[in-house]
Structure 1
Amino acid sequence: MNTRTLALIAVSIATLIYGINYTIAKEVMPLYVKPFGFILIRVFGATAIFWLVSLFIKPEKIDKADFKKIFIAAIFGIALNMLAFFKGLSLTTPISASVMMVMSPIMVLIFSSILIRKAIGKQRILGVFIGLIGAILLITYGNTANGTHANNNFGNLLVFINAASYGLYLVLAKDLSKKYHPITFIKWFYLFGLILVIPFGYQEITAVIWQQIPTKIYWNIGFVVIFTTCITYLFNLYGLSKLKPTTVSVFIYLQPVIATIYALIVGSDTLNLMKVSATIFIFLGVYLVTKQVEKAPKTIKTSSF
């Protein structure tokens, strides 16, 4: 089995975990643990695990200039990404959140054009606009049947910010993922992320009443820390080191399928016409963007970070 196939399998498994995570994390928030407190648990747990694992690999020195790049990647890949996602998920529904995440490939294209001067053709520009129309529909009307319409709209907007942040992270982390061993990169990546999220999550984590949390919710928290955080980041990082950022981001559009099936099975969400319509717009936009990206000629990288 070649490395590209292994990378595709790794990213596929990560996508499956992410799809299930929408409902699993939603069961925890905000009833038992508030969003920012949950993020602090998630990042602290992952940081501890990655630094422990790093003890069993050969030490690798990080170039001083790269610490700044890792810190910037942590801002968008952990702090803004996770805080916006969990806060948004606590306000909206699993299906709406998973559909909004499909915007990531479009955001990758936009940031790639800015940071590495990747050309944008007419078809990709059309795809961006169609995808954005779908995102606006979902943000504005995606939960009209729900009594907390305003909160859902804000939640969808936060998940969109999360998708944009994740798209930027994929572009920023590309070179770093090739330069260093995955564990070496990710242990510093999460350490910086932990420093960034402590101010946001400290108050909420101290308010948690641990003895009132059911065993099932502890399992949910463990799933998010170990699988959604550690396994997915490692698998995505491996995939990112072998595949293009746009290829990795394309797997995100499988998340709504997995998230919708799982959410409907367990009864945590429902479908409505606007969600379906917005999904069609977003998927069409992503299709146009990624189809054109694969056909585009190679470009020369002129800047980074």
Structure 2
Amino acid sequence: MNKQVQVHGALFLVALIYGSNYSIAKEVMPTYVGPFGLIVIRVVSAALFFGIFSRMVTKEKIVGKADNLRVILCGVTGVAVNQLCFFAGLNLTAPINAALLMVIVPVVVLLFSAILLRERVSKRKVSGIVIACTGALLLIYNSRGEATTGNIWGDMLIILNATSFGLYLVLVKPLMQKYKAITIVSRIFTVGSVLVVPFGFNQLLTPDYSSFPTTIWLAILFMVFAVTIIAYLLNTWALRYANPSLVGAYIYLQPVMAILTAVGLGKDVFTLEKALYALLIFAGVYLVSRTKQRLPAKQVS
């Protein structure tokens, strides 16, 4: 099979996995497992897998106080705060709202790059930030009523999740230039697992797991192995052959997949208002990312 076809197939599967996660996670939360208990299952499982995998493929160690401190900060922003806010927010709001709001991650990356890395922000990018934020704020504002499928507090937590993940992408960049990706990921998941356990330990012990139907176990396995492990491995492999613009294009496919999945499973309704807000968000992100600003290739969600 042609290498480019394989790359497109891998990136499409990643987008499908991430897009499906919004609705599949809603099947489990909160009826069977609370959002924080689900985080413990996912993060600890991923930490064990990546820890074992990293020891098998490399003996690399992170050296120096500065790099180790940065790894801890990456674990806080990229795993702990990111996961806690994402699942808590998704537990409250609609899958489509969450998927659309997560598209602003490149905008957040640009803002933190300008603040922390002193990168220049052009007028076009500023316009993109304003337009994307307007779309996000309108979507949140529209979630106030009881008749809507969204939830204002859930939407705010998703925004906080996107902000935390955007900061993580800026913080992790110097580490990725010095160490192998599997080394960094295994360390940040280790840090993240230590931080999330206190939040979700009680929710982890509460459920009667013996009463779970097969579909719920399959949903949990999907979130652990497909969303966290398989998607990461596929993404890492594809990035060896794909250019950033191609990866960026598939990032925008994720909310499309989320909308199709949510509507198909009857978990949400895609209204005309949401479509208009989505256009504002996409237009803003397009203006931000159409220059050389590199978009994130993967979301830890």
Q: TM-score range by the shorter chain?
A: 0.7 to 0.9
CA displacement, residues 160-193 of structure 1 (integer Å, 9 cap, x when unaligned): 1111111111222222223222222211111101
TM-score (normalised: structure 2):
0.88
Displacement, 1:207?
Answer: 1.1
Displacement, 1:118?
Answer: 1.2
Aligned residues, how many? 293
Q: Residue 55 of structure 1: SS of its match in structure 2?
A: helix
Displacement, 1:52?
Answer: 2.1
Describe the shift of the 1:147–1:119 C-alpha distance in structure 2 as closer, same or farther (beyond 3 A).
closer
Find out whether 1:112 has 2:120 as its counterpart. Answer: no
Aligned to 1:201: 200
Cα distance between partner residues in 1 of 2:21 and 2:6 = 23
Report the residue type matching 1:77 in the other structure.
G
Judge which range, 227-236 or 7-16, deviates more: 7-16
CA displacement, residues 27-53 of structure 1 (integer Å, 9 cap, x when unaligned): 110110010110000001111111222
Describe the shift of the 1:248–1:203 C-alpha distance in structure 2 as closer, same or farther (beyond 3 A).
farther
Aligned to 1:298: none
Describe the shift of the 1:196–1:248 C-alpha distance in structure 2 as closer, same or farther (beyond 3 A).
farther
Displacement, 1:231?
Answer: 2.5
Aligned to 2:298: none
Describe the shift of the 1:276–1:142 C-alpha distance in structure 2 as closer, same or farther (beyond 3 A).
farther
Aligned to 1:299: none
Gap runs ≥5 in structure 1:
296-305
Cα distance between partner residues in 2 of 1:274 and 1:88 = 21
**Preserved CA contact (<8 Å) 2:74 2:188:** yes
Find out whether 1:51 has 2:51 as its counterpart. Answer: yes
Report the residue type matching 2:212 in the other structure.
I
Q: State the identity as a percent.
A: 41
Displacement, 1:9?
Answer: 6.3
Q: What does 1:21-100 correspond to in 2, within 5 Å?
A: 21-65=21-65, 66-100=67-101
Cα distance between partner residues in 1 of 2:232 and 2:74 = 13
Describe the shift of the 1:132–1:175 C-alpha distance in structure 2 as closer, same or farther (beyond 3 A).
same
RMSD after superposition: 2.8
CA displacement, residues 73-99 of structure 1 (integer Å, 9 cap, x when unaligned): 111110111110001111111111100
Q: Residue 269 of structure 2: SS of its match in structure 1?
A: coil
Describe the shift of the 1:235–1:171 C-alpha distance in structure 2 as closer, same or farther (beyond 3 A).
farther
Describe the shift of the 1:195–1:230 C-alpha distance in structure 2 as closer, same or farther (beyond 3 A).
same
Describe the shift of the 1:292–1:147 C-alpha distance in structure 2 as closer, same or farther (beyond 3 A).
closer
Displacement, 1:233?
Answer: 3.4
**Preserved CA contact (<8 Å) 2:143 2:149:** no
Describe the shift of the 1:225–1:240 C-alpha distance in structure 2 as closer, same or farther (beyond 3 A).
same
Displacement, 1:279?
Answer: 0.6
Report the residue type matching 2:142 in the other structure.
Y
Aligned to 2:157: 158
TM-score (normalised: structure 1):
0.86
Find out whether 1:256 has 2:249 as its counterpart. Answer: no
Q: Residue 56 of structure 2: SS of its match in structure 1?
A: coil
Aligned to 2:102: 101
Cα distance between partner residues in 1 of 2:286 and 2:236 = 23
Gap runs ≥5 in structure 2:
295-301
Describe the shift of the 1:168–1:286 C-alpha distance in structure 2 as closer, same or farther (beyond 3 A).
same
**Preserved CA contact (<8 Å) 1:44 1:194:** yes
CA displacement, residues 201-248 of structure 1 (integer Å, 9 cap, x when unaligned): 111111122122111111110110111112233444566788898985
CA displacement, residues 232-266 of structure 1 (integer Å, 9 cap, x when unaligned): 33444566788898985664322110101111112
Cα distance between partner residues in 2 of 1:139 and 1:243 = 34
**Preserved CA contact (<8 Å) 1:105 1:246:** no
Cα distance between partner residues in 1 of 2:9 and 2:173 = 19
**Preserved CA contact (<8 Å) 1:112 1:118:** yes
Find out whether 1:140 has 2:141 as its counterpart. Answer: yes
